[in-house]
Structure 1
Amino acid sequence: MKKRNKITLLVAGCSIVAGALSCTNSQNNNSNQTQNKVGSTDSLQRYVDERLAIYEKVKLTSNLNDLTASERKILPLLIQAAKIMDDLFWKQAYPQRDSLLATIKDEKTRAFVDINYGPWDRLNGDKPFVAGIGPKPDAATFYPVGMTKDELEKSTVKDKYGLYSVIKKDSTGKLSSVPYHILYAAELQKASNLLKQAALLAEDAGLKKYLNLRADALVTDNYGPSDYAWLDMKTNTLDIIIGPIENYEDKLFNARASFESYVLIKDKVWSKRLAKYVSMLPQLQQGLPVEARYKQEKPGTDSELNAYDVVYYAGDCNAGSKTIAVNLPNDEIIQQKKGTRRSQLKNAMKAKFDKILMPIAKELIDKDQQQYINFDAFFANVMFHEVAHGLGIKKTVTGKGFVKEALQEQYSWLEEGKADVLGLYMVTGLLKKGELEGDIKAFYTTYMAGILRSVRFGAASAHGKANMQCFNFFKENGAFIRNSNGTYKVDFSKFETAMNKLSGVILTLQGNGDKAAVEKTQKEMAVISPELQGDLDKLTQKGIPVDIVFEQGVDVLGVK
């Protein structure tokens, strides 16, 4: 999705604490976190005060005038179900939430804990910001404390890498797997009941079917039928994405899914404008700038490309950087058979453009090129990022199975990088074919500003890593220059060349399924240089936010 599409940060050994840059050897993220851990209560408080300011508060609203009476009754039920996903994600990310908050008197620190779903700063390499808290465990709560990767791999557990289960260890040291629908039975039953109630009120046949099947999925962990039903929906106005979906929180294997939810209202006018692009995927796949064996797969075209107002975020998608576009389902088999739905979250996207990207552009983009920055280009770049998840390769050409299985915890960041660069490849190709309106200078310059926005998400973010790689690769290939005043100027001809070259590199890495090669690429390319860090510091000093947080819910929307 991730992915779909995330500051002052701890990355490549560089961090900002109280406005000062410090650098260490960053070969090991956990040791970095320990070395950079703020010691005193006073310094922790200063850190939180500064870091809380990187988020801009935004009201999540939409025009409800066109909703029917039944849709107005359904909306609060969907939000209630979404809130349960929020509670479940807390249990996955930091189950000691209540006891932690009980020890914290400072309201700003409590607010920062809420934003991060725990005591680790998600946009600063998961840096701990509460006294006595050590590094964030890669295993989260998906695996027993202290369990090694080798221990699980050598075990006899049948569901070693299951999407919807947790690994437990008994008193004898034996490992076993517990399904989500058993471990979280009470909460999932409540959410299921709410979806069933909403289904009874639904007038749209597709929505009714999906809500019923998704309700069943929550209490069985069998999500396939509801995923197909979700893709079949065509005429619905309301929508909800709900359940265990993304794998980002599992940094040990990138295997197990985290709970989240989006409550959505379709923008039918914008959605109609976007409908034509999915049918072009097979032709675009054939033209990918990579050897033929890496583009033999045929992308599914029975998909939808829609625009929405998002009116509620919950769980994983609400933690740290906020997603502004979604490409689902993640199931590779469903993707190949049916395709995916690319959901553009237009109101959240516009908020990020106005409050973050434009201020960044005014500080860091060459003055003569700032005229090319516009929302339509930003919207298209983000949209085609999601569409581009459907391009490329899902199975390795080396017999190692699906790319995701072969690359494990290295998969997410590289896949996000693929979607970024292939999205730009799609924009370029469609402009040349006359299928997309606009000036290529606008798309490339806005893309450059987008890179500078997303690298601020840091090393703990798949999107942050992806944009670090892109920045460094494009720099090496002359796609932009850095002016003496610290602004960046795009070289439009070299930008396209670099785009094609990076596309080939990423698709080859994925197709080969060579995890060691991807790890090497991350260490060498997904880093921030001191020079870039210094430029990003200017944004912090100017008070430009890194991301947004929401005022949301039934009260904000005016529904009960």
Structure 2
Amino acid sequence: MNNIYKTSILLSTIALSTSLITGCTNSSKPTGSQTVIIQKDSLIDYVAQRLPIYERVRLSTNINQLSVNDRKILPLLIQAAEIMDELYWKQTYPQRDSLLATIKDEKTRDFLAINYGPWDRLNNEKPFVAGVGNKPEGASFYPYGITKEEIEKSDLKDKFGAYSVVRKDTAGKLTTIPYHILYASELQRASSLLKQAALITEDAGLKKYLNLRADALVTDNFTASDYAWLDMKTNGLDLIIGPIENYEDKLFNARTSYEAYVLVKDKEWSKRLAKYVKMLPDLQKNLPVAAKYKTETPGTDSELNAYDVVYYAGDCNAGSKTIAVNLPNDEKIQQEKGTRRSQLKNAMKAKFDKILIPISKELISAEQQQYIKFDAFFANVMFHEVAHGLGIKKTITGKGFVREALKEQYSWLEEGKADILGLYMVTGLLKKGELQGDIKDYYTTFMAGILRSVRFGVSEAHGKANMQCFNYFKEKGAFERTAQGTYRVNFDKFATAMNDLSSFIITLQGNGDKIAVEKTQKAMAVIPAELKSDLERLTKKNIPVDLVFEQGVDVLGMK
């Protein structure tokens, strides 16, 4: 699902020489770090020190490999993506323009654009503009200040709808408005651009998908276009577009946010990856969990492809940048047909070179740094996405789908499942000879990946998932912290911890016990003081946390 793997990372509490603002998560009450009195100009100082955590990268591809028609289509897809960006702003911070009018500091304006609002996404949503307060848990999906209980007790038919907002009229009555009505003007423009692209393309699969997706944007009926997207096989271009992920809805993990990726397929790499999807049923049977939790059969009609991403918009571009995608999120489609796992190879390589390698040199034991390899990083990320198809989608306790049973606790646990089952897949495929390399490469690179990803903090699903893995593996002795302040993998115990955590998470999901998952989050999704100290060393060495992209038709040389 959500499956969007946001692999970037950040320190939840960073030592700064200037005064910090009040710590907060996505909740309505301040939590986490200590309350500190804000001195004059301290927010400008804060932004000035936070902005450099993002490394600038140009998104490009070899457009000469594209057909003449594809070169005509690409600008249309980017224009449609830009509309999704505008819609995401309306969902996250609709007062953007009025806020920007009050801000003179250019660095603050830049930081606002990166975060799609005045809250630092990679530092537990700390506000960095005076007077904005804490980030609402429900973004703009719900009336400001409304409680979960008020929504749950209401008689709204669409109270947990994926494609609507909840509003309160002057009499206090709650109603819902579908996205396709609320955003009708923008969606009609985006739909028209996709129709234009469909007229130009010569690829039958892409033509069908673009036409159906264009219709879906203006109706909120996405099923037919999701099936058509999975059916595409020969397309050179791809477009992921619409309201897809529900991370922004911290109240119920229900309502979706707009986003778009414009993609150019790497056909050579995609061909190499195709075989792995067929192995899912066998891997499912051998999951290290009780038999009753692995009776489902994963779809094998999935696509596993590699791409150059040339444009990010909306949710996937907010704060940390997504480098692999597993969609659609619809469990029914997943069970019937599977998913498409899209590996964003150029963005992945940029993160490896500019972030993972420098972190490894600082935090991985010297004798194990030789095992940090891009192919292992690529495989770990890729199989994270594939692993979303393993495990369990429906509870065994009669509570329906796992997503429905766990509500706002679903996303972080699902991301944790994908992390650990991805590593389980790598281990199994290496043993079968279906994957090349040394297991030490994969395990050490995975460890480095955790140290990279825990810099997210714990206000976001992937951050919580990474901290659970770190703390669980530490408890099991899967790694040790040396006297030099570096981390050394214990390869035998790493495999044992992997199997144990896999069983633990799948069991929690299968039982659909939301209270047990909440307890697990509170106990495991925390950053220990020693680790905070180690992560601060990365900040002092100016190792970036994530990327910010220079992108668009002019960057591609198409203007």
**Same fold, judged at TM 0.5 (above):** yes
Q: Give unmatched runs, 5+ long, in structure 2.
A: none
Output the CA distance in 1 between the equivalents of 2:276 and 2:9: 34
The residue type paired with residue 469 of structure 2 is C
Distance of aligned partners of 1:7 and 1:195 in 2 relative to their CA distance in 1, 3 Å threshold? closer
Output the CA distance in 1 between the equivalents of 2:474 and 2:204: 51
Output the CA distance in 2 between the equivalents of 1:478 and 1:56: 34
Output the CA distance in 2 between the equivalents of 1:404 and 1:62: 37
Aligned to 1:396: 395
Output the CA distance in 2 between the equivalents of 1:242 and 1:28: 28
8 Å contact kept, 1:124–1:458: yes
Aligned to 2:125: 126
User: How is 1:287-298 mapped onto 2 (pairs within 5 angstroms)?
Assistant: 287-298=286-297
The residue type paired with residue 359 of structure 2 is I
User: How is 1:336-351 mapped onto 2 (pairs within 5 angstroms)?
Assistant: 336-351=335-350
What root-mean-square deviation, in Å, do the aligned CA atoms of Structure 1 and Structure 2 show? 1.7
User: How is 1:189-338 mapped onto 2 (pairs within 5 angstroms)?
Assistant: 189-338=188-337
Provide, for residues 199-236 of structure 1, a one-character-per-residue CA deviation record: whole Å limited to 9, x for no partner.
Answer: 00011000000000000000000000000000000000
Distance of aligned partners of 1:24 and 1:257 in 2 relative to their CA distance in 1, 3 Å threshold? closer
8 Å contact kept, 2:21–2:126: no
Aligned to 2:2: 2
Output the CA distance in 2 between the equivalents of 1:37 and 1:395: 45
8 Å contact kept, 1:9–1:457: yes
8 Å contact kept, 1:8–1:540: no
User: How is 1:44-83 mapped onto 2 (pairs within 5 angstroms)?
Assistant: 44-83=43-82
User: How is 1:94-133 mapped onto 2 (pairs within 5 angstroms)?
Assistant: 94-133=93-132
Output the CA distance in 1 between the equivalents of 2:92 and 2:271: 38
Aligned to 1:356: 355
Provide, for residues 337-368 of structure 1, a one-character-per-residue CA deviation record: whole Å limited to 9, x for no partner.
Answer: 00000000000000000000000000000000
8 Å contact kept, 1:385–1:422: yes
Provide, for residues 366-391 of structure 1, a one-character-per-residue CA deviation record: whole Å limited to 9, x for no partner.
Answer: 00000000100000000000000000
Task: Name the stretch that deviates more: 21-30 or 372-381.
Answer: 21-30
8 Å contact kept, 1:18–1:50: no
The residue type paired with residue 410 of structure 2 is Y
Tell me the TM-score normalised to structure 2 length.
0.97
Output the CA distance in 1 between the equivalents of 2:74 and 2:9: 35
8 Å contact kept, 1:15–1:23: no
The residue type paired with residue 532 of structure 1 is L
Runs of 4+ in 1 over 4 A off after TM superposition: 19-29
Is 1:529 aligned to residue 528 of structure 2?
yes
Distance of aligned partners of 1:153 and 1:366 in 2 relative to their CA distance in 1, 3 Å threshold? same
Q: Give unmatched runs, 5+ long, in structure 1.
A: none
Output the CA distance in 2 between the equivalents of 1:28 and 1:548: 26
User: How is 1:376-415 mapped onto 2 (pairs within 5 angstroms)?
Assistant: 376-415=375-414
User: How is 1:467-482 mapped onto 2 (pairs within 5 angstroms)?
Assistant: 467-482=466-481
Output the CA distance in 2 between the equivalents of 1:25 and 1:161: 25
Task: Name the stretch that deviates more: 87-96 or 137-146.
Answer: 137-146
Output the CA distance in 2 between the equivalents of 1:99 and 1:364: 43
Output the CA distance in 1 between the equivalents of 2:21 and 2:50: 16
The residue type paired with residue 428 of structure 1 is T
8 Å contact kept, 1:481–1:488: yes
Output the CA distance in 2 between the equivalents of 1:234 and 1:19: 53
Output the CA distance in 2 between the equivalents of 1:448 and 1:29: 34
Task: Name the stretch that deviates more: 38-47 or 536-545.
Answer: 38-47
Match of 1:309, SS state, is strand
Is 1:502 aligned to residue 504 of structure 2?
no
The residue type paired with residue 504 of structure 1 is S
The residue type paired with residue 299 of structure 2 is G
Distance of aligned partners of 1:337 and 1:146 in 2 relative to their CA distance in 1, 3 Å threshold? same
The residue type paired with residue 204 of structure 2 is A
- 1:88 Cα offset (Å): 0.1
Distance of aligned partners of 1:25 and 1:183 in 2 relative to their CA distance in 1, 3 Å threshold? closer
Match of 1:176, SS state, is strand
Tell me the TM-score normalised to structure 1 length.
0.97
The residue type paired with residue 218 of structure 1 is L
Output the CA distance in 2 between the equivalents of 1:37 and 1:462: 26
Aligned to 2:171: 172
- 1:290 Cα offset (Å): 0.5
Q: How many residues align?
A: 557
Match of 1:58, SS state, is strand
- 1:33 Cα offset (Å): 6.8
Aligned to 1:543: 542
- 1:2 Cα offset (Å): 2.8
Output the CA distance in 2 between the equivalents of 1:116 and 1:22: 17
Is 1:553 aligned to residue 556 of structure 2?
no
Provide, for residues 37-95 of structure 1, a one-character-per-residue CA deviation record: whole Å limited to 9, x for no partner.
Answer: 66234211111011101000000000111111110000000000000000000000000
The residue type paired with residue 52 of structure 1 is L
Match of 2:554, SS state, is helix
Provide, for residues 250-294 of structure 1, a one-character-per-residue CA deviation record: whole Å limited to 9, x for no partner.
Answer: 000000000000000000000000000000000000000111111
8 Å contact kept, 1:311–1:553: yes
The residue type paired with residue 4 of structure 1 is I
Match of 2:130, SS state, is coil
Output the CA distance in 2 between the equivalents of 1:201 and 1:26: 46
The residue type paired with residue 222 of structure 1 is N
